[in-house]
Chains A and B, each alone.
Chain A
Amino acid sequence: METLRVLVVDDETGMRLAVARVLNTYAVRPDESDEHAVNFTVDTAETGEAALEMMAAATPDILLLDMKLPGMSGLDVLREIRERRIETLTVMITAYATLETAIEATKRGAHDFLPKPFTPEDLRVAIRRVVRHLAVQREARRLAEEKRQVRFQFITVLGHELKAPLAAVEGYLQILKDGSAGNDPAVVGRIVDRALVRTEGMRKLIVDLLNMTRIESGRKRRDLAPADLREAAVAAIETAAPAAAARGIAIHLEAPERAPLVADRGELDIIFNNLISNAVKYNREHGRVTIAVDRADGLWRLRVSDTGIGLAPEDAQRLFQDFVRIKNEQTRTIPGTGLGLSIVKKLAQLYGGDASVDSQPGAGSTFTVTLKG
C-alpha cells in the first residue's frame, strides 16, 4: 500500500489534530479499478515559516494550507513554494473564500479549496480529489517518459543504421586509396558498385526518415485532391518493372477501371511503391506479384500478394514497427531501410484505415491496406 505524506498548516491546534485523526485512518483508491488503496501519514505545522522549513527537509505530496496564519499568510507560503519549485499539491483551507482570494490563490498554484468549517466527510472528499489528480499526473508523466524512451531508442537505432553504410563506403575508399585492391578492373568495379549500393541504401533511409517525420509531426502539407488508386498502382508497377524483370517476376493488376479517392497522390505512391517493391524483393525468381484493388465495408482495399519466402507468424506481428527487418539467411542480402512498412501503416491510419499482413512461410505473403473514402 502506498502512503502519501500530508502536511497540515493551521494555527488552530484543534483543527490540526482533527485533520490528522481523520486522515490517519483514511484509505482511498486513486481509481475505482485500482487494486491498491492509498493511505496517509500526517505532519503538522503551526505557521507558514515552520511549514516551509519542514518542506525543505521533505516535500509532502499534499499540503493543506490555511489562508489566514499568524506570520506569513497562506498566499505568502504559496509564493515561496512556487519560487523554490517545491512540487506539492496544495489545498487551501479558508473561512472567507471570496472570489478574489480564490483567484489569487489559484494564480499562485493552489490546486483546490476547502471552506471552513468542514466535516470529516468534506475533508475526505477533498483528499480523494487530490489523490485522483496525483494519479492522473503520474500517469501523464509515465507516458511522457515512455515516449521519450521510444524516441531515444529510435535515434540510437537510426544512428547505427546511418553509420553502417558510411563505414562500408569509407572502407572501400580507404582500400582504393592505399592501393591494396591492385589494378584488376573487375575488383575495382565491384568496389565501386558496392559503395554505390551502400550510399543508395543510405539515401533511401534518409528519404524514408523525412517522410516519416512529416507524417508524424502532422505538419506535412497534404495535397488532398481527387486521385485514382488504379493510376497510382500502374505508376508504381512501372517503377518496379525493371527490378521485377531482372528476376523474371510477373506483376498483375486487378482493379476496377476507376478507383476514385480524395487523397494526397504522393502518399498513395509511397504506399504502393513500398508494398510492390517488397513483393518483388522478397519474391522467388520467376515468381508473381498480384495487386488487387477493390471495395469492402465502405473502404478501399489494396492487396499486394507475392509468391516469396513468406513470414513466420511471430515475425509478422513485429513487421510494421520501426526498423524491424526480418533477418535470416534468405533475407541477408536484400536491402531495405526497415521503415517502409511502418510508414505504410501510419499513412493508412491517416486515411482512417490500417495495414496488415497474412503470410504462409515459404509460400508467400499478402499485404492488405485499407483506406477510407
Chain B
Amino acid sequence: MTPEPTAPHILLVDDDEDFLFQHKIQLEHAGYRVTTATTRAEAEALAAELKPDLAILDLMMEQHDDGFVLSHHLKRLLPAVTAETGISFSPTSGAERAWVGADALLAKPIRFEQLKREVERLLRDRDKGLGTRG
C-alpha cells in the first residue's frame, strides 16, 4: 500500500534492523509516510531536512545515551511541528523522562495496536493545538 503524499510523515529511529522494517511496513499499511534511520546523526539530518510530523525512536541504541540525546534534540530541531513529537521506547526514571521530553514512552516489547493508538492520539492532539502531554 502506498500512503498518500499528504499523509502524516513519521521518522522511525532504531538500531534494530528488523524492528525498523516491521514497523515501517505496519505504519505504511496504517496510512502513514515513514522514513527510517539507524543512528542519531542520520536521524538528526533527516529530521532537519524532512521536518516529519512525529518521531518514533528507541532510547536504547548502540551508544547508550544516543536515543536520549536524540529525543532531547528533536524538540529543538522540530519547533514548527510543536515541541511534542517523540514516542520513545523503554521505561525511564522520572528525571530522565522529563529531560527526554517525549510525549509518550512505551516499553518494549510493544504491540503495534498500542503504538498506533499513541500515534493517532499525538497527531490528533497536535492538530487540536494541545500542549505538552506525557
Contact = CB atoms under 8 A, between A and B. Distances in A.
A327 B17 CA distance: 14
A198 interface: yes
A194 B18 CA distance: 7
Given A168-B18, A194-B18, A332 B62 contact: yes
Interface in B58-75: 62-63
B26 interface: yes
Interface in B1-32: 1, 15-19, 21-22, 25-26, 29-30
Contacts of B15: 332
Contacts of B82: none
Nearest to B26: A180
Contact of A175 (B16, B26, B30, B39): B26
By CB atoms of chain A within 10 A, which of B15, B22, B39 has the most? B22
A194 B25 contact: no
B109 A167 contact: yes
B38 interface: yes
Interface of A is mostly: helix
Given A180-B29, A333-B17, A327 B62 contact: yes
Contacts of B63: 328
Contact of A190 (B21, B26, B30, B39): B21
A181 B18 CA distance: 14
A333 B39 CA distance: 13
A172 B62 contact: no
Interface string B64-94: 0000000000000000000000000000000
Contact of A198 (B18, B62, B109): B18
Contact of A187 (B18, B25, B38, B62): B25
Interface string A127-151: 0000000000000000000000000
Interface in A319-356: 327-329, 332-333
Nearest to A164: B16
Contacts of B30: 180
Q: Please tell me the size bucket of the interface on B.
A: 10 to 19
A171 B18 contact: yes
A182 interface: yes
Nearest to B41: A329
A171 B22 contact: yes
A191 B30 CA distance: 18
Which residue among A181, A198, A333 has the maximum number of chain B CB atoms within 10 Å of its CB? A181
Given A180-B29, A182-B29, A333-B17, A328 B62 contact: yes
Interface in A190-211: 190-191, 194, 198
Contact of A180 (B16, B17, B19, B25): B25
A327 B64 CA distance: 10
A191 to B, nearest CB: 8
B62 A182 contact: no
Contacts of A333: 17
Nearest to B18: A168
Interface string A141-175: 00000000000000000000000000110011001
A182 B1 contact: yes
A328 to B, nearest CB: 6
A185 to B, nearest CB: 14
A180 B19 CA distance: 15
Contacts of A187: 25
A171 B22 CA distance: 7
Nearest to A331: B62
A92 B79 CA distance: 82
Contacts of B17: 194, 333
Contacts of A180: 25-26, 29-30
A190 B30 CA distance: 20
B62 A329 contact: yes
Best-surrounded residue of B1, B25, B26, B63 (most CB of chain A within 10 A): B25
Interface of B: 1, 15-19, 21-22, 25-26, 29-30, 38-39, 62-63, 109
Q: Which 10 residue pairs of A and B lie closest in terms of their CB atoms, listed nearest first?
A: A180-B29, A168-B18, A171-B22, A327-B62, A180-B26, A181-B25, A182-B1, A180-B25, A175-B25, A194-B18
Given A180-B30, A194-B21, A327-B62, 6 more contacts: A175-B26, A181-B25, A182-B1, A194-B18, A328-B63, A333-B17
28 contacts: A168-B16, A168-B22, A171-B19, A171-B22, A172-B18, A172-B22, A175-B22, A180-B25, A180-B26, A180-B29, A181-B25, A181-B29, A182-B29, A187-B25, A191-B21, A194-B17, A194-B18, A194-B21, A198-B18, A327-B62, A328-B62, A328-B63, A329-B39, A329-B62, A332-B15, A332-B38, A332-B62, A333-B17
